[in-house]
A and B are shown apart, each in its own frame.
Chain A
Amino acid sequence: DTGVSQNPRHKITKRGQNVTFRCDPISEHNRLYWYRQTLGQGPEFLTYFQNEAQLEKSRLLSDRFSAERPKGSFSTLEIQRTEQGDSAMYLCASSGAGGYTFGSGTRLTVV
């Protein structure tokens, strides 16, 4: 069990560019989640997969955001036409029967 892995750890991008993040969950976990966290706040739910099916999306997930989980394994989160307000830590988590196991996150800075 190597935990939840996220890449890259840091991403700096210019406003208007597209970015893609990857998450590799714990292999035994069938549920995968994306959250966003800004300074001084708790994680905010973005979306959730059970196996390859995207079951829920938050209203925070605008049409510039898309997430996939092909074959129910790793997941990607893409943000198109980034804005400065997208700057945040993007956390991926996976779960089986109990609580979440979070990855270390991808810190996005939009300049």
Chain B
Amino acid sequence: GQQVMQIPQYQHVQEGEDFTTYCNSSTTLSNIQWYKQRPGGHPVFLIQLVKSGEVKKQKRLTFQFGEAKKNSSLHITATQTTDVGTYFCAGPVRNSGYALNFGKGTSLLVTP
């Protein structure tokens, strides 16, 4: 079935190092969304990408949507301990209006 796959599953970095998580879909996506979930918390919307090849930045976070609209990435420059959490990508459920398929997420641990 339609899925979004994320790698890596876990990433442990030293504070100040960079971090990247990748999201891949077996089908073309009309858009992709990214969410962050802190330990014990709920997912919080970060961004939506719609256009092929789109790149958006939020401070130290850079989001990319692939040219074929089948993959996406989130890159964090110079991680901080506040970046700890699980990052999920989500793409629309096929033939759905607004329901989303979430990946399994990448859990980021940052040690000082």
Contacts and interface: CB of A to CB of B under 8 A. Distances in A.
Interface of A: 31, 33, 35, 40-45, 48, 50, 55-56, 58, 91, 95, 98-105
B33 A56 contact: no
B42 A104 contact: yes
A44 B101 CA distance: 7
A38 to B, nearest CB: 11
Contacts of B99: 33, 45, 48, 56, 58
Given A40-B104, A42-B105, A56 B97 contact: yes
Contacts, number: 58
A21 to B, nearest CB: 14
A99 B42 contact: no
Contacts of B33: 99-100
B48 interface: yes
B43 interface: yes
Interface string B83-111: 00000101001001111111111000000
Contact of B48 (A33, A58, A91, A98): A98
B42 A102 contact: yes
Nearest to B4: A42
B42 A45 contact: no
A104 B97 CA distance: 24
24 contacts: A33-B98, A41-B105, A42-B88, A42-B90, A42-B102, A42-B103, A43-B43, A45-B99, A45-B101, A48-B96, A48-B97, A56-B93, A56-B96, A56-B97, A91-B42, A98-B45, A99-B46, A100-B35, A100-B45, A101-B45, A102-B42, A103-B42, A104-B41, A105-B42
A108 to B, nearest CB: 15
A35 B100 CA distance: 10
Nearest to A58: B99
